[in-house]
């Protein structure tokens, strides 16, 4: 096994509030790792530090052994870290395939040089990526008319455009119907399997988390309080306590923060 991502003592304070508190973990190659926790636990803050959007107050982030905290989001992306956002950010005036082509152009650094020819460039490669997420048939549709789940699948193909070794997915299924959630996670699991990509994701449908992740970490008030496989997490008294209110872990968070 090889470690793709590692954090050591990762911490972020907003004034007096310590949103992420001394978080250390490792993510292995080909691993699908879930980061769960109640609303406000610090998950997005953690993601933002990994992506270079927020500088840590203290602590370090390593990608394949190389320290990456302090680098810009663009530099981190270039090192092979793909991401999907909690809020979808695509060009709605363009077609599905044009969005993917833009991502490929951007990866290859020639957006401005070749913009007028963008519609011809990388069409084949873009089709391949769309095929991978089951969106090939919708390649020439405008994004504005896509169903939400399809938009998310396109977003995933964009994240894959630069062949990342690591995908960071902050609530990739937010706003999706339960069936779509399962489908997107199945697709992600397949991509992990086929391409050996590593994935760190958050998700608040616990059934989806338990069904698809290899390992689960639980964050509460900025601190990692548990880590293990689905059975271990389900049976952890500490985790049960954190999710109290809804009774069991299974539906406690459903719809809490979509």
As to burial, measured by CB atoms within 10 angstroms (0-12 exposed, 13-18 middle, 19+ buried), residue 214 is middle
> What's the min distance (Å) between Cβ of 57 and ligand ADP?
12
Dist CA 223 CA 242 (whole Å): 12
Find the farthest-apart pair of alpha carbons in the chain and give their distance in angstroms, rounded: 59
Task: Please say which residue, 41 or 130, places its beta carbon nearer to ligand ADP.
Answer: 41
- One symbol per residue from 25 to 44: x for binding Mg ion (CB under 5 A), - otherwise; what is it? ------------------xx
| DSSP 8-state secondary structure symbol assigned to residue 2 | -
Lay out the site mask for ligand ADP across 24-53 (x = CB under 6 A, - = otherwise): -------------x-xxxxxxx--------
At 51 the three-state DSSP class reads: helix
Phi then psi for 23, rounded to 5 degrees?
Answer: -95, 120
What is the token pair recorded at 224? Answer: 């990692």
Cβ 45 to ligand ADP shortest distance, Å: 3
Residue 2 near which of Mg ion, ligand ADP, none (CB within 5-8 Å, type-dependent): none
Element (H, E) at 199: strand 198-201
CB of 126 to ligand ADP, least distance (A): 31
16 near ligand ADP, rule: CB under 6 A? no
39 binds, among ligand ADP, Mg ion, none (CB under 5 to 8 A by kind): ligand ADP
Q: Which residues bind ligand ADP (CB under 6 A)?
A: 14, 17, 19, 37, 39-45
């Amino acid at each position: 096994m090889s470690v793709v991502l590692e954090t050591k003592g990762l911490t972020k304070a907003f004034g007096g509030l310590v949103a992420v508190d001394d978080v250390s973990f490792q993510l292995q190659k080909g691993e699908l790792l879930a980061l769960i926790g109640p609303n406000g636990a610090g998950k997005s803050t953690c993601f933002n530090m990994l992506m270079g959007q927020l500088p840590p107050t203290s602590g370090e982030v390593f990608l394949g052994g190389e320290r990456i905290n302090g680098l810009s989001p663009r530099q981190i992306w270039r090192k092979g870290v793909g991401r999907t956002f909690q809020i979808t950010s695509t060009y709605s005036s363009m077609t599905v395939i044009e969005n993917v082509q833009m991502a490929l152009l951007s990866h290859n650094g020639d957006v401005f040089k070749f913009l007028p020819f963008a519609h011809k460039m990388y069409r084949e490669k873009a089709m391949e990526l769309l095929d991978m997420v089951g969106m090939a048939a919708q390649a020439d549709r405008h994004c504005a008319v896509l169903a939400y789940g399809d938009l998310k699948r396109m977003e995933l193909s964009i994240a894959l455009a630069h062949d990342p070794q690591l995908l960071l997915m902050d609530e990739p299924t937010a706003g999706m119907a339960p069936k779509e959630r399962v489908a997107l996670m199945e697709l992600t699991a397949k991509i992990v399997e086929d391409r050996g990509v590593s994935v760190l994701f958050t998700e608040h449908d616990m059934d989806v988390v338990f069904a698809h992740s290899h390992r689960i970490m639980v964050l509460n008030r900025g601190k990692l309080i548990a880590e293990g496989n689905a059975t271990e997490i389900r049976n952890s008294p500490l985790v049960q306590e954190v999710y109290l209110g809804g009774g069991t872990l299974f539906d406690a968070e459903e719809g809490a923060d979509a």
